[in-house]
Structure 1
Amino acid sequence: GLDDRLKAAWTLERTGAALTLGAEACRRYEAEKAARGLLDFDDLITKAAALLAEQPTFVQFKLDQGIDHILVDEAQDTSPEQWKVVEGLASDFFSGEGARAGVTRTIFVVGDEKQSIFSFQGADPRAFGAMRSTFERKVGAEGFRRVELPHSFRSAPGVLEAVDAIFKSAVAHAGLTLDGVGPVHAAIRADAPALVEIWPTTVPEPHPEPDNWRRPLDEVPSDDPVSRLAARIAGFIQAGIANGLAIPSRNGRPMRAGDVLVLVRRRGRVFEAVIRALKELKDPRVQVAGADRLVVPEHIAALDLMALGDALLSPHDDLSLASVLKSPLFGFTDDDLMALCPQRKGTLASVLATSDDARHRAAAARLAGWKGEAEGLRPFDFYGRVLGRDGGRRAMLARLGPEAADVLDEFMALARTYEGAEPASLAGFLAFLRRGGAETKRDMESGRDEVRVMTAHGAKGLEAPLVILADTVDMPRPRIAGGLLTLPGEGVPVLAPRKAEDPEVLATARATAAARELEEYRRLFYVALTRAEDALVICGAETRAPARDKPHARPEGCWYDLARAALEPDADEGEPLGFEGKVLRWRKGPGLKVAEAGA
């Protein structure tokens, strides 16, 4: 109708303007790269594919003389552009022109479309299936072999049966496999016992009104669902280690902290709460590796230290000084600042120094001492004295909790890194932190005896005897990169900022994109489940109260519901380890036992 045509016209106008801006941004980016003689990662792929597509070329001839076998690993994560490189390398394999006497040329491709979870990098499991068909057609039926590997060398039979049961329904396995059927696994460890538990979700507790109006608006109450879930997980891990649960994949020895992998869908409240709860146990047997990825300058502890640097470098920066005074380094309150700041004459630093209050003058003296050191010391040495000799680290951990220790350690490591690359100055170090790139990634494969807490994306390729899926309630929000949708079959990006403004063709494209995102959401669930060797725990926190006509507030189709609907019919209620309540324990296969003495 007319409404649809008007929406289409507005969309065309918006898209034309967006593409004009985008083209100019791309032109400038390409010009900057050319001026510096640089290539980015995408350039390497596209230029390699273009070079191999030009035939006949000297490059093709030389490659043809030297390549007999091509191996593509993790093929489900290969993007269509990367497949063009593989096609170019193999272009003469099957033509007969490049054949050499006595040489059989092969392509060996390893991949599992069920584990394709990197669409944001361009990966598409459909491209994996299309390339399989392409090579099958080129080679012919006699030369092509498709080998299925249903056996798992990692997981116990009980875990694999649970995975198969979860993905048996049509809803759960939609988009999981290219042929549209659920997975079927076989375990190499045929007699190994396993434990599969589903815990009840934690839900908001009713609070009497009115609440304490003096509490900060952003304070997280200790009894909120996320904090209670984190406490359950910490208690379960501590009890498992204390009771000496036997780990079948480790020859029946007692459970250790390093046997546990806690997975979340994304870094957020659950992620931070679990790390905090584990550290607050203060149990030497339950060490935790900390965040797998940490953006140091965004944490409040690092922001406080950076504000200290700003205040010392710029005596007129009253805002930074006020931030430092409220930090754990000084412990001033809002009331303290209100007594100092309004209607002050001069800078906040001068008001502190001339105050009649002994505490204010002590703070001014401390700042003056730090200012002298900041001017003469390297950043690492200066902050080392602030945190060590002057008790800054102790004060920060007392207020911010033990998880701040990771941030302070990485902050000091970044100071050392900065000094090795640039002339050491406090102003330069602060600029270095704010430029970005101050993100720390830990190697979670190292064999330290620590509980690992990480995202399911980060855990791909890893494994652990006991896997706890902690973030199973949230669903992905529709994510359209840059507000651009691609029209089906056209490959043309169209600016579509709001669903209400979509013409019919864009509504269809948006629905297709949302469906593909849900498919990847379920593939990520498959990856998370299959990290477990012996034991699997599925739990979650509902942060919103349910509506009156609904029993819970979970979104339909979330990981928790997929697992519970599949496993509940064959599960019994049992007593959990480490916390009060009841859990569902799947009956397939024997559960884990307490390790024998001396194991």
Structure 2
Amino acid sequence: LAAAVGTLRSGTSFQKQVEAWDVLLGIVCTAQGTVRKTVNRNQGFVAGADGKAMKQRMVALLAGLAENPSFLDALSAWRLHPDLGYREEAWQTLQALLQLLPEAIVELRQVFAESGEVDYVEVAGAALQALGDEDAPEELLLQLDAGLKHILVDEFQDTSILQYRLLERLTSGWQPGDGRTLFLVGDPMQSIYRFRQAEVSLFLVAARDGIGSVRLEPLQLRANFRSQKGVVDWVNQIFSHAFPEEDDALYGAVAYSPSVASYPEEKNAVQVDIRVTDEEGEEDEAAAIADLVAGIHQEHPDWTIAVLARARHHLQPLVRTLRQRRIAYQGQDLDTLMDRQAIVDLHSLTRALLHPADRISWLAVLRAPWCGMTLADLDNLIRQDRNRPVYELLESQAAQGELFDSLSEDGRARWQRIRPAIEQALSWRGRVPLRRLVESTWLALGGPACIPAEELPDVERYFQLLEKISRNGDLDDFSLLEERLQQLFAQPGSAEGAHLQLMTIHKAKGLEFDVVILPGLHRRVSAADRPLLNWLDHPEFGLMLASLRRADSETGDATYEAIQAIQRERDRQETTRLMYVAATRAKHQLYLFGQVKPDGEGTKDPPEESLLGRIWEAVQPHVTWSRPVHTEVEDADTSGLL
């Protein structure tokens, strides 16, 4: 202990000071990172009367530290500090990467050239290369420097490191007083695009240090010309507690800046509806939102209403409810192609034609609208033989008598109507491109007459996908087709003039609505992946690069974990900002919906990484609590159902 304190006082090297702090914290904390409750000779405190007074003072100090939030935060941060250097095996890995990655770039650019496509990183990197650098500028940079007098950048809070470097390069030759101006516009409290490599830390560093030789004069705008005073005051009250007290560029933390309302206060500004239940209450919540929408429409028929969710799939229960109630809405990228029944039927037809033994797909083809065979007929068809392919059951001469005894007259007529189209398709299988096979069969079956006209573009996208991924009239992997169908979104239904819009919070940024409804605030999204190669642009020290961990190693890399901890905290800070963006879209009224689980007489807190979790401590006094009512219903007799 004395040696560690002496090291810190002597002003030795940075590495020695870090090692000394590790020793001190090893005395203060357990291996799990919690503050010790007591100490003994293992920490250097001798037994007996001589050490008793010192031990008592140390225990009192530990008790005080355990109640000090600032110390606990600093302790958590320190425990995750990176290694001070690379081990020998790590150096070997990094040297191999330095040789491998340039070769990988060459191969990637070859792929770009062959496909005729590039990604954003390649475009931005090419722009930087075209400009050269300050010491060796290219001709393009010199031309731009001579003619470029003023630069204005909007939404600067969502700048990526490549964009930031480009701005640095463009202003590298500027001098104070030369008449050129750089104007950056942005609100760091609305930085929500980390998934596009945007980092709010760049905004904070630019505001503090400028960009290159260009120093910036801050101009802070506070007037809110969107929301009524009741909404503005509520947002100020809640988010002044949810946001951190001060900026921190490393962790992407932005201090809250309150707004001043320009419009007078109105009634019913904000309502927070939290349901207490152990069950998933998505359908109950959707029904409550549909009731709310209907009421608002009746009271304010000209008001616009937006339902904003963190992820598209969070809106699915509400979409189903709105369709059931025939409430018109507008929304984009809400339904995947596989959510449309027409595409499900086409998918079954594709599988049936390519795999005659796929009984489920064949039954789906017979059940689809172009045939419409009843469940009773389907059951009778396969009841006696549950192994043979369905088409063989329909066509086998030996089974004809049994077949026509099992199928009703209506079922026989339906099969005879589609039989020529199916026979023709099976004779073409493997001889024509897959798109032609499926599309011509669908047309012959009367598929276009079975769906609304607005779904025809979705059908065309399905055929385009078949054309793109099929080979020699077949599919190598059906899972690829299903995966791609989940990635393509159906065309939104026709709802022109609808005052209700459904979208994600990210799509709503920059927009405003009379009423904003935020559903499912307790829900989480998937955790971030652990990348193979992990690095960070540190705002003070530049590149932090972790070594790759060997697959056969059980030892974690301290630098890798330090970077992951920083990224997790940046994600948490952005979640708070995402909630702020959602709330500030409202002009007149804001409604929040969420769910918590019961815990004895009280409730459990929502997940910390959820939108509700980020404001939970501040929002609890504003909550309207509700508990779903369950009604006992006698079980119906289902013995006759297939």
Partner of 1:112: 187
| Aligned 8 A contact 2:127 2:166 in 1 | yes
Matched, 1:158 2:257: no
Query: After the TM superposition, which of the residue ranges 555-564 and 196-205 deviates more from structure 2?
Result: 555-564
Aligned counterparts of 1:275 and 1:18: Cα–Cα separation in 2: 51
Distance 1:63 1:56, change over 3 A: same
Aligned counterparts of 1:290 and 1:477: Cα–Cα separation in 2: 23
Aligned counterparts of 2:105 and 2:416: Cα–Cα separation in 1: 53
Match of residue 419, structure 2, among 333, 353, 368: 368
TM-score w.r.t. length of structure 2: 0.66
Query: What secondary structure, in the 3-state scheme, does the structure 1 residue paired with 2:589 have?
Result: strand
Taking the TM superposition and a 5 Å limit, the aligned residue runs for 1:394-405 are: none
Partner of 1:263: 308
Matched, 1:64 2:135: no
Partner of 1:215: none
Partner of 2:337: 296
Matched, 1:42 2:121: yes
Query: What secondary structure, in the 3-state scheme, does the structure 2 residue paired with 1:184 have?
Result: coil
Aligned residue type for 1:281: R
Query: What secondary structure, in the 3-state scheme, does the structure 2 residue paired with 1:457 have?
Result: helix
Aligned counterparts of 1:239 and 1:473: Cα–Cα separation in 2: 25
Partner of 1:480: 529
| Aligned 8 A contact 2:253 2:570 in 1 | no
Aligned counterparts of 1:323 and 1:553: Cα–Cα separation in 2: 45
Identity of aligned residues (%): 24
Distance 1:12 1:381, change over 3 A: same
Aligned counterparts of 2:152 and 2:520: Cα–Cα separation in 1: 36
Distance 1:226 1:68, change over 3 A: same
Match of residue 202, structure 2, among 110, 114, 127: 127
Aligned counterparts of 2:438 and 2:284: Cα–Cα separation in 1: 43
Q: Cα distance, 1:439 vs. partner? A: 2.5
Partner of 1:399: none
Q: Cα distance, 1:493 vs. partner? A: 4.5
Distance 1:367 1:225, change over 3 A: same
Matched, 1:189 2:263: yes
Query: What secondary structure, in the 3-state scheme, does the structure 2 residue paired with 1:368 have?
Result: helix
Taking the TM superposition and a 5 Å limit, the aligned residue runs for 1:577-588 are: none
Distance 1:10 1:479, change over 3 A: farther
Aligned residue type for 1:353: E
Aligned counterparts of 1:76 and 1:441: Cα–Cα separation in 2: 32
Distance 1:475 1:435, change over 3 A: closer
Q: Cα distance, 1:479 vs. partner? A: 0.7
**Structure 2, unpaired ranges of 5+:** 1-21, 23-30, 32-81, 397-402, 429-435, 631-642
Aligned residue type for 2:461: L
Aligned counterparts of 2:386 and 2:511: Cα–Cα separation in 1: 56
Match of residue 515, structure 2, among 460, 466, 479: 466
Aligned counterparts of 2:610 and 2:350: Cα–Cα separation in 1: 45
Aligned counterparts of 1:14 and 1:194: Cα–Cα separation in 2: 64
Aligned counterparts of 1:112 and 1:119: Cα–Cα separation in 2: 15
Aligned counterparts of 2:550 and 2:593: Cα–Cα separation in 1: 35
| Aligned 8 A contact 2:576 2:614 in 1 | no
Partner of 1:239: 295
Alpha-carbon displacement from aligned partner over 1:10-62 (angstroms, at most 9, x marks no partner): 99599779969977765532322245565332111011012223444321232
Distance 1:80 1:443, change over 3 A: farther
Aligned counterparts of 2:490 and 2:245: Cα–Cα separation in 1: 32
Partner of 1:280: 324
Distance 1:154 1:457, change over 3 A: same
Aligned counterparts of 1:519 and 1:10: Cα–Cα separation in 2: 36
Query: What secondary structure, in the 3-state scheme, does the structure 2 residue paired with 1:168 have?
Result: helix
Aligned counterparts of 1:204 and 1:338: Cα–Cα separation in 2: 42
Query: After the TM superposition, which of the residue ranges 14-23 and 486-495 deviates more from structure 2?
Result: 14-23
Q: Cα distance, 1:296 vs. partner? A: 1.4
| Aligned 8 A contact 1:410 1:440 in 2 | no
Partner of 1:412: 459
Query: What secondary structure, in the 3-state scheme, does the structure 2 residue paired with 1:304 have?
Result: helix
Partner of 1:597: none
Matched, 1:492 2:545: yes
Aligned counterparts of 2:88 and 2:392: Cα–Cα separation in 1: 58
Q: Cα distance, 1:121 vs. partner? A: 1.3
Q: Cα distance, 1:462 vs. partner? A: 1.9
| Aligned 8 A contact 1:467 1:536 in 2 | yes
Taking the TM superposition and a 5 Å limit, the aligned residue runs for 1:59-98 are: 59-94=140-175
Query: What secondary structure, in the 3-state scheme, does the structure 2 residue paired with 1:48 have?
Result: helix
| Aligned 8 A contact 2:272 2:623 in 1 | no
Query: After the TM superposition, which of the residue ranges 552-561 and 515-524 deviates more from structure 2?
Result: 552-561
Match of residue 526, structure 1, among 557, 560, 580: 580
Matched, 1:455 2:504: yes
Partner of 1:515: 569
Taking the TM superposition and a 5 Å limit, the aligned residue runs for 1:540-551 are: 540-542=594-596, 545-546=597-598, 551=603
Query: What secondary structure, in the 3-state scheme, does the structure 2 residue paired with 1:414 have?
Result: helix
Alpha-carbon displacement from aligned partner over 1:542-584 (angstroms, at most 9, x marks no partner): 5xx5455862362246433554543454x59699xxx999xxx
Aligned counterparts of 2:104 and 2:385: Cα–Cα separation in 1: 45
Q: Cα distance, 1:457 vs. partner? A: 1.5
Aligned residue type for 2:594: G
Aligned counterparts of 1:195 and 1:373: Cα–Cα separation in 2: 64
Distance 1:204 1:109, change over 3 A: same
| Aligned 8 A contact 1:470 1:538 in 2 | yes
Partner of 2:286: 230
Aligned counterparts of 1:353 and 1:14: Cα–Cα separation in 2: 67
Partner of 1:31: 110
| Aligned 8 A contact 1:311 1:317 in 2 | yes
If asked which structure has higher relative contact order (CA below 8 Å, sep 6+), I would say: 1
Aligned residue type for 1:118: Y
Q: Cα distance, 1:349 vs. partner? A: 0.9
| Aligned 8 A contact 2:190 2:581 in 1 | yes
Aligned counterparts of 1:76 and 1:64: Cα–Cα separation in 2: 25
Aligned residue type for 1:306: H
Distance 1:550 1:435, change over 3 A: closer
Aligned counterparts of 2:88 and 2:374: Cα–Cα separation in 1: 55
Query: After the TM superposition, which of the residue ranges 482-491 and 185-194 deviates more from structure 2?
Result: 482-491
Query: What secondary structure, in the 3-state scheme, does the structure 1 residue paired with 2:275 have?
Result: coil
Matched, 1:555 2:607: yes
Partner of 2:240: 168
**Structure 1, unpaired ranges of 5+:** 206-223, 246-253, 395-404, 582-599
| Aligned 8 A contact 1:472 1:560 in 2 | yes
Aligned counterparts of 1:76 and 1:86: Cα–Cα separation in 2: 14
Q: Cα distance, 1:119 vs. partner? A: 1.0
Q: Cα distance, 1:427 vs. partner? A: 7.6
Q: Cα distance, 1:519 vs. partner? A: 0.6
Query: What secondary structure, in the 3-state scheme, does the structure 2 residue paired with 1:448 have?
Result: coil
Query: What secondary structure, in the 3-state scheme, does the structure 1 residue paired with 2:509 have?
Result: coil
Aligned counterparts of 2:154 and 2:407: Cα–Cα separation in 1: 68
Instruction: Give the aligned CA root-mean-square deviation in angstroms.
Output: 4.8
Aligned counterparts of 2:225 and 2:332: Cα–Cα separation in 1: 28
Alpha-carbon displacement from aligned partner over 1:40-87 (angstroms, at most 9, x marks no partner): 321110110122234443212322343222121111111011111222
Give the structure with higher Rg (CA). Answer: 2
| Aligned 8 A contact 1:157 1:194 in 2 | no
Q: Cα distance, 1:196 vs. partner? A: 0.4
| Aligned 8 A contact 1:18 1:495 in 2 | no
Aligned counterparts of 1:325 and 1:166: Cα–Cα separation in 2: 57
| Aligned 8 A contact 2:469 2:481 in 1 | no
